[in-house]
Amino acid sequence: MASQQAVRLSLKKPTYAVCVVGVKTYVDVHSDVPKGAKTFGISWSSGVEIFMVYNPARVTEPTGQSHWPLDANVDVTVSVDTASKDLNDLKVKVSYFGQGEDDALGHSVLYLTGVDVSLDVDTGRQGKVKRSRGDKETWRWGPEGHGAILLVNCDRDSPRSRGLDLTSIQLTSLDDLKDMSPMVLTCNGPDRLFDTHKLVMKTPFSDSRRVGVFCARGGHSLSNYKQVLGPQHQSYEVERQPGERKISFYVEGLAFPDADFSGLVSLSVSLVDKTTLVEVLIFTDTVAFRVAPWIMTPNTQPPLELYVCSVMDIHGSNEKFLRDLSDLVSKANCKMTTCPRAENQNDRWIQDEIEFGYVEAPHKSFPVVFDSPRDRGLKDFSYKRILGPDFGYVTKEIPLAGASGLDSFGNLDVSPPVTVGGKEYPLGRILIGSSFPKSGGRRMAKVVYDFLKAQQVQAPVELYSDWLSVGHVDEFLSFVPTSDQKGFRLLLASPSVCLKLFQEKREEGHGEAAQFDGVQHQVKRSINEMLADGRLRRDSLHVQKCIDWNREVLKRELGLTERDIVDIPQLFYRQGPYAEAFFPNMVNMVVLGKHLGIPKPFGPIIHGRCCLEEKVRALLEPLGLHCTFIDDFLSYHKLLGEVHCGTNVRRQPFSFKWWHMVP
């Protein structure tokens, strides 16, 4: 809002002013007064409101024929409650009197033209624009908060478009308007007023590359929509047509929150008098928006669509693996999309290449795929095949050094909603692996980490994963949904639990039962041999210490207790300074609701059943989960895990609205 307008009255000639509906204008009744005047009275026409500002301790409000004193700091402000039909059709008259005199010593006349100017957006977050005279300039979090929301227009609604919709200054599809936030400019007043006054819409220079505004003019063809603000245009003189009272605009976000961008942008409209030598600003109305963050979805959210790649390697195609996944998807009642070899260039690791999330505003929500900087065979898949109508795309490029293994999105996970020491994280917390607590080592690229942190709604937690060869958090943890009050369990790989299980089986007389029994091209290892292998034991116990360090971080940062954690048996061995799974890593599973696709561990067979599978079933099935063990041995043991790393799941968004939280 502009500072309060002031109007100085004259005894010699009428004064003219423009008054914005609902905005008070200060009237100077003291500067030009008749000689001998001690008091004044005031009268006004219908449609005008007068406000007397004074100190009740010093001034008594006049009654009957008495008047207001001139020497007691009594100020006058006026406002109008509706737009004028004609110029100067509202009148205020000030009469001046001597002490105790009834006859006026002089008069000043003020003619007003009322104009209704207001810039309005969905400040109430109800999905529609409502007229507001309240606080539109600020944005506040929480269920009682206020402020409008923008979606980054990062999908591609027209098949004719080559890039994201946000890159085009021309509207390419009317459907694109649904991705934008509506904004309405009220500009009601006499047409002749706009011959001498103009309306100017602006955005700060720093915001101009982050927000775009389209003006709707006339009909419903694409040519009726014109971009008026954006990277190339920081201001726009509104083209008001005669008789026009409201003008519709559509606002799009052009960038997600990031290290150099809080997510807040503002737009303003100003009424300017252009008849003077130096244009005079009469009134400004400003609205604030926050760009909706990119939000990840945890395993506990219902699955909508599973993505997997069809590949061919020296062992043949992965057709059986695809069939097994198809059976699992059918049980989970979700969709399965297979990326053909021609599009994946024989790169099966779709979990590492992309991460699915979504954006949401009160009026619209759509999924957005985050394309990692990994950029191998699948580098073009998300842009060429996933990006489309109501399916957005975002990526971050790493300058100079290029991506490391920890920039792959197998190293990116998110917890279910948690409460930590009374602070709620209703959308969970992002989990990333790094070299912390070591100095040096591999870390996620700063540009990726900064982007994730800047979204504000899923505060990241750094875990220690640099002890692993690949270095991804998904190699030692996962989350599964449960139907109890907690709603989920954290699964952690556990060498100690595995060694204890094998010890128990040996004591039961099953020491000769062998790991990898029946697996071609793989040396069998009996329980006795594995327990006697000092190096395997040392390596696994070293890994257990690394996982235990993360266990304490996860308990502290996610507010978990031991009851919330399930230890999944798993052995590891070290290759130099880094560790790898000794058998297919069961925690590296795909979670489709209650249905779990778990890498088949090929553990020792006892009484016709794999003892590792039986242990996992005993741990998870009482929680209402269904375990399906899928053979990915060749792809896993040679290429490090296909059940999880070779799949990716798009999930249902949270029902909780991110703007209701307080970061």
Q: What amino acid positions are annotated as catalytic residues?
A: 645
Q: Are strands 316-317 and 312-313 parallel, antiparallel or unpaired?
A: antiparallel
- Bridge partners for 181 per DSSP: 251
One-character DSSP codes across 208-266: TTTEEEEEE-SSSSGGGEEEEEBTTBSEEE--PPTT--EEEEEEEE-S--BTTB-SEEE
Consecutive H or E run containing 82? none
Whole-number Å distance between alpha carbons of 66 and 71: 15
Rounded to 5 degrees, what are φ and ψ at 310? -90, 125
Q: Tokens 């053979």 belong to which residue?
A: 631
Helix %, strand %, coil % for the chain, to 5? 20, 35, 45
Whole-number Å distance between alpha carbons of 419 and 557: 9
Enter the tokens of residue 319: 């057709």
| 517 Cα distance to chain centroid | 49
Ranges of beta strands (E only) in 544-584 are 565-569, 572-575, 578-581
Angle at 369 between CA 365 and CA 371, to 5 degrees: 155
Q: Where are the alpha helices (DSSP H) in 338-428?
A: 341-344, 350-353, 381
By three-state DSSP, how is residue 493 classified?
A: strand
Counted residue by residue, the chain has a size of 663
Whole-number Å distance between alpha carbons of 657 and 363: 12
- Bridge partners for 303 per DSSP: 651
- Bridge partners for 515 per DSSP: 525
Consecutive H or E run containing 579? strand 578-581
Q: What is the largest CA-CA distance in the chain?
A: 121
DSSP state of 385: I
Which one, of 136, 451, 476, lies nearest residue 289 by Cα? 136
By three-state DSSP, how is residue 7 classified?
A: strand
Enter the tokens of residue 52: 């007397």
By three-state DSSP, how is residue 192 classified?
A: coil
Other Cβ atoms closer than 10 A to 659: 22
